[in-house]
């Protein structure tokens, strides 16, 4: 187990370097390409309840996806992390305009305050689709996150609490594709990974 954690740390450092070498125009170009592939995806088009992350600077930009979710009248849920734990809820966002008024976390991303009473996806009907961030992915659908365990823990709760588990799609720069990702039993596989350059990977 210790060797797996060490391998993950080393790979995280390597991937962060690789992503930081991307220029802003290149990040935008890849984000737009991945967004277009997602918006035309049959799973996205059929989904009515979607969880989407508010991106950090080193992640695929999700602004256009958020706008499209509301334009199509779908229900939009975003992460709310609990400090000092690996617990994360997906809470309902009522408009894109709400985002700019959300408090900024220590990670410099916006999320609803913990004290706000908001609709939580898992207690009000579940989710059809979860869009997943990460640092790295391999062709088997394995994901390397940032080490906090938020998404793995949340997807485990989906399995336990929902009769139909949501489909998961990771959005990534092509530089985040790895030959293999070191994993433990608690790491969840992603159903499908969308990259640029027609490198979509579907895991049956």
User: 39-51: per-residue pLDDT in tens?
Assistant: 999 999 999 999 9
Q: Is the dihedral of CA 174, 140, 80, 108 positive or negative?
A: negative
Beta-strand runs (E) in 25-179: 49-51, 75-81, 88-93, 129-132, 136-137, 143-144, 167-171
pLDDT band at 105 (very low <50, low <70, confident <90, very high): confident
pLDDT by residue (tens digit) across 52-102? 999 999 999 999 999 999 999 999 999 998 877 889 999 999 999 999 888
Annotated ligand binding at 54? The verdict is yes
9 in a known ligand binding site: yes
Check residue 199 and give its pLDDT.
45
Tell whether residue 145 is among the known ligand binding residues. Answer: yes
Is 18 labeled as ligand-binding? no
The CATH number of residue 191's host domain is: 3.40.50.10420
**What would the pLDDT profile of 6-32 be if each residue is shown by its tens digit?**
999 999 999 999 999 999 999 999 999
Contact of 102 with 25, CB cutoff 8 Å: no
84 labelled binding-site residue: no
Alpha carbons 19 and 166: distance in angstroms, whole number: 28
> Binding residue per annotation — 73?
no
The reply to whether 11 sits in an annotated binding site is yes
Range of the domain at 79: 2-202
115: which residues sit within 8 A by CB, 6+ positions away?
none
What pTM was computed for the model? Answer: 0.92
Nearest-angstrom CA–CA distance, 29 and 17: 19
**pLDDT tens digits for 131-172?**
999 999 998 999 999 988 899 999 999 999 999 999 999 999
- Please count the structural domains in the chain: 1
Output the pLDDT for position 203: 57
Q: Is 157 within any annotated ligand binding site?
A: no
User: Is 147 annotated among the ligand-binding residues?
Assistant: yes
Q: Mean pLDDT score of the chain, rounded to an integer?
A: 91
Instruction: Tell whether 143 is in a known binding site.
Output: yes
């Amino acid at each position: 187990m210790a060797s797996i954690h060490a391998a993950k740390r080393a790979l995280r450092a390597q991937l962060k370097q690789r992503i930081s070498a991307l220029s802003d125009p290149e990040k935008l170009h890849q984000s737009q390409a991945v967004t277009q592939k997602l918006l035309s995806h049959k799973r996205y088009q059929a989904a009515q309840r979607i969880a989407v992350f508010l991106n950090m600077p080193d992640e695929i930009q999700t602004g256009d996806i958020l706008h499209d979710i509301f334009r199509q009248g779908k229900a939009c849920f975003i992460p709310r992390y609990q400090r000092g734990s690996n617990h994360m809820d997906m809470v309902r966002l009522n408009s894109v305009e709400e985002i700019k008024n959300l408090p900024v976390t220590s990670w410099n991303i916006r999320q609803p305050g913990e004290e706000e009473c908001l609709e939580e996806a898992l207690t009000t009907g579940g989710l059809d689709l979860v869009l997943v961030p990460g640092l790295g992915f391999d062709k088997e659908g394995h994901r390397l996150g940032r080490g906090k365990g938020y998404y793995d823990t949340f997807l485990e709760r989906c399995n336990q609490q929902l009769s139909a588990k949501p489909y998961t799609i990771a959005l990534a720069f092509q530089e985040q594709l790895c030959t293999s990702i070191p994993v433990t039993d608690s790491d969840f596989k992603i159903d499908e990974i969308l990259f640029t350059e027609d490198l979509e990977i579907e895991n049956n």
